[in-house]
Chains A and B, each alone.
Chain A
Amino acid sequence: EDKVVQSPLSLVVHEGDTVTLNCSYEVTNFRSLLWYKQEKKAPTFLFMLTSSGIEKKSGRLSSILDKKELFSILNITATQTGDSAVYLCAVSTSGGGADGLTFGKGTHLIIQP
């Protein structure tokens, strides 16, 4: 059974801190790993990672994948209260066409002013 484990499950930090969120996985036929941010409603896409060691960056957020050790990290620097959300890690496995995603439980991040 495919499995995605995120840690920590919750995290409270102060504005301006840097946080690192972790995601490990055990799946068959790995295709890609995705990070989503979920506030009140729909998960919104952050990054898709397919190759090891190549950092993806968007503003204060960055992510990297290690396919040998089967994990990924999401870094957020200079955190702001607007970064408060649940961050979801998901893994896509290869199939005949559409790839259903296997999600972790998410990390609930709270940024205190």
Chain B
Amino acid sequence: NAGVTQTPKFRILKIGQSMTLQCTQDMNHNYMYWYRQDPGMGLKLIYYSVGAGITDKGEVPNGYNVSRSTTEDFPLRLELAAPSQTSVYFCASSTLGQALGFYSNQPQHFGDGTRLSIL
């Protein structure tokens, strides 16, 4: 019962390096999200996607890029790593559910996170 899988779990980067954080889900969810969580803070939305080929910016998109070529995968790319991007990154997915004749977004399911340090 995999759910949302993120790799790697930990990574240390040097300033200016690039890397891709991987996220895959096996629940056939249309909606996927990337958040970052800094110490003592709540999660902040970086990017989200409503389906393959469609992505949109969240609250803190600067310094990141995403793509969504398949329903299952939603990778997050850092092009020029900066110390301010040291954080824990969470990927999440959700879907529409129907109740009482209405469609509504169901709760998001989260991966275990990627802890990224930029030195």
B94 within 8 Å of A (CB atoms): yes
A90 contacts B109, C-beta separation under 8 Å: no
A42 vs B88: C-alpha distance when bound (angstroms): 10
Query: From residue 49 to 98 of chain B, which have CB atoms closer than 8 A to chain A?
Result: 49-51, 58-59, 90, 94
A59 within 8 Å of B (CB atoms): no
B16 within 8 Å of A (CB atoms): no
CB distance from A82 to the nearest CB of B (A): 19
A92 vs B43: C-alpha distance when bound (angstroms): 13
A34 within 8 Å of B (CB atoms): yes
Known contacts A42-B90, A98-B94; is A105 also within 8 Å of B42 by CB? yes
A98 contacts B31, C-beta separation under 8 Å: yes
Q: Which residues of A contact B30 (CB under 8 A)?
A: 97-98
Interface residues of B, dominant DSSP: strand
A45 vs B43: C-alpha distance when bound (angstroms): 14
A19 within 8 Å of B (CB atoms): no
A42 contacts B112, C-beta separation under 8 Å: yes
B104 within 8 Å of A (CB atoms): yes
A99 within 8 Å of B (CB atoms): yes
A98 contacts B107, C-beta separation under 8 Å: no
A99 contacts B59, C-beta separation under 8 Å: no
A104 vs B43: C-alpha distance when bound (angstroms): 8
Q: Which residues of A contact B41 (CB under 8 A)?
A: 105
Produce 1/0 per residue, B10-50, CB < 8 A to A.
Answer: 00000000000000000000111101000011111100111
Residues of B within 8 A of A (CB): 4, 30-33, 35, 40-45, 48-51, 58-59, 90, 94, 104-105, 107-113
A-B contact pairs, 23 of them (CB 8 A): A4-B42, A31-B104, A32-B104, A34-B107, A42-B4, A42-B90, A42-B112, A44-B110, A45-B108, A45-B109, A50-B104, A97-B30, A98-B49, A99-B31, A99-B94, A99-B105, A100-B48, A101-B33, A101-B43, A102-B45, A103-B42, A103-B43, A104-B42
